Chain A
Amino acid sequence: MSQWKKGNDQAGLLAPARPAERLQVWEALNIAHDRVLAEDDAVFVMGEDVGLFGGSYRVTQGLYAKYGAWRVRDTPISENSFTGLGVGAALVGGRPVIELMTVNFALLAMDAIINMAAKMRYMSGGALRVPLVVRTPGGVARQLAAQHSQRLEHLFMNVPGLRVATPATPQDAYWQLRQAVRDDDPILLLEHELLYFREGAFDPEAEAPPMHAARVRREGGHFTLIAYSRMVEVALEAAEELAAEGIEAEVIDLRSLRPIDLVTLQDSVTKTHRALVVEEDCRFGGAGAEIAAALNERSFFELEAPVARVAGADVPTPYNGALEAASIPRPGDVAEAVREWMVG
């Protein structure tokens, strides 16, 4: 049984058992930044518009005035080089937090992230450490069209040496950023543009679960829905829809895509015997493929049906609003897929 599965969901966004302060995701990240900058002089934040402007999503608001230009640095539009600069500083004692304005622009920094940050510890025989944090918003937002609306987690999940976290709540955003900054290895935080202004319970003093531990957001005995980032909301809405029909879905927020907390997923499947992965990214070669394959390998004899997937359509994101909505999973799509697999 997963250590974090039971009775640890108080700080979750969607079902706070204990009334706590409520904040939006961007505010939680802002507080996390403030704390890490205050606690450790080696921390500095760097990215396009993170300073004077305060960040496209207000995440670094106020920090430039408080910590000055060397600690909160506006950069030119040179993603690969300022991310690589972060790698260089990390090698000699710095703890940089690099913000890439969107995951679409992170593609320009892939050399720094994949060829450098993720490999330097290994290829130096352990002599070098790269305590680099890269934060980047992504996902399908609101009619931003193909070059500004992507989910690229599959690209980063396949990189040895890298860890990938996907906070979906203010509490997780706060915890995972702080954990990432403390860690001596490179960590990528994939945030979601539509979640920054979501509100949820927030307790800065609450004890954090391990960074990669999945959390059960809703308990249920009939079906396991596995989701991450904004798809947790979608899965929870689908679960409500299904509950009205007597199907109780357990909703798991994966929180981390590399590594994945398979133990928690297995525990849930042992109870429900059916599972479905909900992902915003394209289905082909995506996160869902890894999760489904791993569950099939480890929980085959617990499963009454193959692990299913509901995913984004394999198309570049369309601009048109109705088409855009149809390109990513909606609660109805998830509920329908569950009904299909509940038959028999």
Chain B
Amino acid sequence: MRRDLARQFLYDMLLARRFELRAAEEYAQGNIAGFLHLYPGEEAVAVGSLRAADPGDYVVSTYREHVHALVRGTPLGSVMAELFGRTGGCSGGYGGSMHLFDVERRFLGGYAIVGETFPVAAGVGYWLAMNGEPDVVLCYFGDGAVNQGTFHETLNMVALWDLPVVFLCENNHYQIGTEVHRHSAVSHVHRRTGGYGIEAHWVDGMDVRAVHEATRDALRHVREGNGPVLLECETYRYRGHSMADPAAYRSALEVNELRARDPLLTFREWAEGEGWVSATESAELDQAAERAVEEAVAFAAESPPPRDLHAGVHVRPLDLYGGRP
């Protein structure tokens, strides 16, 4: 492990944690509305995997995607402003929490229908393969998504046509409030790809280093033309499915057990123990993350709300009764 990478992992996870906790506060204060699905507990997956990707790779994410966008490099302020529904948001305030997009960083959403990510990733992969491009698509999804038809339909197509896609399952144990063993006949997602001949591995999704290493290998495998790969990153979300969910369906014992393996704390402990980061540096990184989130909130609060219902982005012609272009 390199020192700069260790610091990067630590900073990314601190930033992600602080960003999401702050989003929850802003939601409570009424500055963020609608559905808000937060990521605490799952940070190692986004950080470990996205730090293994190249800038040319595409990222297709889900409705729990703030941290994917942040780690990908989307400015913090534009993510927060999107949650606020403001013009400074990465979707101009028209998308909100579940519809973040950042074309410049090849970050393609942001989908609020579970399972939609699969065909989109296949489509980007199709385009890359058709044109002989070296880039790969990283496709994120939760354990709840694997029972959608699109999962199986897409696995079939990407395997059939050998499309450059790495599937990253964030198995956080819950499909909203239904635990994985109650929604899937086979709750080990990586065992469900065998029928399609797709290479798949289980990864400890609470360990940022393990996720990073597995993703690096998967990306190499795909770039070398060996076909798609699926990684099941087993992780845990500390909070409910969304802000509207108090998560009463699980015990405090269970949550506390998993919290003991907190990806952020265990990595910090390890990194400090190995001498990659000093305790002082950890504290400095945390303060820097706190400042960055503070600035993001200030930016969002100052950003004006969008005013134009049509905004010139609606499909033309606007006049449904015969307006001629």
| A93 closest partner in B (C-beta) | B127
User: Is A116 a contact partner of B149 (Cβ separation < 8 A)?
Assistant: no
Given A70, A76, A91, A264, which contacts B123 in the complex, CB threshold below 8 Å?
A91
| Whole-angstrom distance between the Cβ of A234 and the nearest chain B Cβ | 24
Given A116, A125, A185, A298, which contacts B92 in the complex, CB threshold below 8 Å?
A125
Given A115, A161, A258, A294, which contacts B113 in the complex, CB threshold below 8 Å?
A115
Distance between Cα atoms of A96 and B110 in the complex (Å)? 22
Q: Which residues of B contact A162 (CB under 8 A)?
A: 315
Distance between Cα atoms of A89 and B111 in the complex (Å)? 16
- Pick from A79-87, A220-228, A241-249 the stretch touching chain B: A79-87
User: Is B111 a contact partner of A298 (Cβ separation < 8 A)?
Assistant: no
User: Is B157 a contact partner of A263 (Cβ separation < 8 A)?
Assistant: no
Given contacts A81-B149, A128-B101, A298-B321, contact A88 B120 (CB under 8 A): yes
Given contacts A123-B99, A260-B322, contact A80 B149 (CB under 8 A): yes
User: Is B127 a contact partner of A86 (Cβ separation < 8 A)?
Assistant: no
Map CB proximity to A onto B139-171 as digits: 1 under 8 Å, 0 otherwise. Answer: 000000000011001101100110000000000
User: Is B116 a contact partner of A116 (Cβ separation < 8 A)?
Assistant: yes
Chain B, interface size category, equals 35 or more
Given B89, B119, B128, which contacts A80 in the complex, CB threshold below 8 Å?
B119
Q: Is B45 an interface position by the 8 A CB rule? A: no
- Pick from B27-35, B212-220, B236-244, B306-314 the stretch touching chain A: B306-314
User: Is A294 a contact partner of B321 (Cβ separation < 8 A)?
Assistant: yes
User: Is B95 a contact partner of A81 (Cβ separation < 8 A)?
Assistant: no
Q: Is B126 an interface position by the 8 A CB rule? A: yes
| A91 closest partner in B (C-beta) | B108
User: Is B320 a contact partner of A122 (Cβ separation < 8 A)?
Assistant: no
| B115 closest partner in A (C-beta) | A111
| Whole-angstrom distance between the Cβ of A277 and the nearest chain B Cβ | 15
Q: Is A151 an interface position by the 8 A CB rule? A: no
Q: Which residues of A contact B315 (CB under 8 A)?
A: 118, 121-122, 160-163, 185-186
Map CB proximity to A onto B62-95 as digits: 1 under 8 Å, 0 otherwise. Answer: 0000000000000000000000000001111111
| B158 closest partner in A (C-beta) | A85
Could you write out 26 A-B pairs with CB less than 8 Å apart? A3-B324, A80-B149, A84-B120, A86-B123, A87-B119, A88-B119, A88-B122, A88-B126, A89-B123, A91-B124, A92-B58, A94-B130, A116-B113, A116-B116, A122-B314, A123-B94, A124-B109, A126-B311, A127-B90, A128-B103, A161-B315, A186-B315, A259-B322, A259-B323, A262-B321, A263-B322
